[in-house]
Structure 1
């Protein structure tokens, strides 16, 4: 049973390594750019500076609270 689990783990690691290489190559060529940003970090910072809390900002912008914290941290 251990051999099957070990082989499966190796197979998954090999797949992930190949996938990372493909993505890195595509990014280097400028083909893979990721998803366009849908959240304006500057708007979040202005709301926070205006005294609005992260939960209220998230509700107002219809985004997750974690996204608000991520935008404030960057």
Structure 2
């Protein structure tokens, strides 16, 4: 929904990816990713990322476990 509301361009993945919950339940299949976007966190950390696009009723943006491990 965020991608649609903000008009963020996307590209199709050559191979779909799956999304799992923390308890390893399969949540969705991902077929789209955003173009590279500039992400600014806490005012002082800036990086360019692409995001996988999938429906998430709980959160408009999920950074994921690997991002949290790298930055914590």
TM (norm. structure 1) is 0.19
Q: Which has the higher strand share?
A: 2
**TM-score of the two chains, using structure 2 as the length reference:** 0.19
